[in-house]
A = this chain, B = another copy of it.
Amino acid sequence: MSVTIETIQEARGRIAPYIVKTPLLRLQNLDPFLGCKVYAKAECMQITGAFKLRGALNKLLSLPQEQLARGVVAASSGNHGRAVAYGAKMLGTTATIVMPRTAPPLKVENIRALGAEVVLCDVSERFEIAAKICAERGAVSIPPFNDEAILAGQGTAGIEIFEQAPDLDLVIIPVSGGGLIGGVSTAVKSLAPQMKVYGAEPAALPRYSASLAAGSPVTVERHFSIADALAADTPGSICFPQVQKYVDGVVAVEDDYLLKGMKLLLTEGKVLAEPAACIGLGAVLQGLITVTPETKVCFLLSGGSVGLDQLDILKKTV
């Protein structure tokens, strides 16, 4: 099995009753600031507040019942964990979420509120600890990105984007391990080969820029980025070939531009999204992706898990 438009279509049939077809907004009030026609796929309005529910539910609904009954474990910087916790509760099993200590408190709270157990650890240890818990308990690991069912689930957002605005010129997608961009680019390019697909990742963690240049997945040094949801230091081995095949380019965005994008989205666009979700706006503001006033650009707003306290940083953003 590999990830194709067919597996993404199947995923859609599987998860459609449980997720929301999020709006694709035309945010014309942002046009003068970004220099293009601005569209936003508002996955921040998805159930559990992020696109992650798509992949997590596709994976959970693909598991045999006897595996599901043993409980599920996920390593996550927040949104994937919340999606897995939600799915586990919905399907009547237990979830353990392994999270970095640096995750925003709001994300930890949201997961505990769904009845899941939370284990906090250093960001670099999270996959190892999740594997250990799986082994000890006989539970099933739900990977955050490097899994074909996860990619196919995330790809369903790409089908929706095409249906909602088939005449887009460009889609810009936040990049971490590559689950979202791997799935969405596969869907978009299969349905609309003329549509350009770009990825945007933090300049502090340019794992895809480095790996695409090297021709295979490489691990980058871990530096801080405000985009807490984009924490992977290495592309997923299953995600990378999809990105290589379908994505027109990946750019590395400075946090300052990301924050500028987040502020504009909120104050002019009237949409609240978390820092990671705004990195595509940052990419255009930083001049990394060329647009014209006529270019129709869809920014995939990956999630909205951000607390009011976190908005204070925007007051200092020019």
Contacts and interface: CB of A to CB of B under 8 A. Distances in A.
Contacts of A47: 28-29
A150 B307 CA distance: 39
Contact of A27 (B45, B266, B309, B314): B45
Interface in A17-56: 20, 23, 25-29, 42, 44-45, 47, 49
A311 interface: yes
Contacts of A271: 270-272
Nearest to A106: B267
Interface bin, chain A: 20 to 34
A309 B42 CA distance: 25
Contacts of A272: 266-267, 270-272
B45 A270 contact: yes
Contacts of A44: 270
Contacts of A307: 267
Interface string A250-289: 0000000000000100110111110000000000000000
Nearest to A44: B270
Contacts of A314: 308
Given A266-B272, A270-B45, A270-B304, A25 B23 contact: yes
Interface string A235-253: 0000000000000000000
A268 to B, nearest CB: 8
Given A20-B26, A45-B269, A271-B271, A308 B308 contact: no
A308 B266 CA distance: 9
A128 to B, nearest CB: 34
Given A267-B272, A270-B271, A308-B311, 10 more contacts: A20-B26, A20-B28, A25-B45, A27-B45, A44-B270, A45-B270, A266-B272, A270-B304, A272-B272, A309-B315
20 contacts: A20-B28, A23-B23, A23-B26, A27-B45, A28-B47, A29-B45, A29-B47, A45-B270, A49-B270, A263-B308, A266-B272, A266-B308, A267-B272, A267-B308, A270-B272, A270-B304, A308-B311, A308-B314, A308-B315, A311-B311
Closest 5 CB pairs of A and B: A270-B304, A270-B272, A44-B270, A308-B315, A45-B270
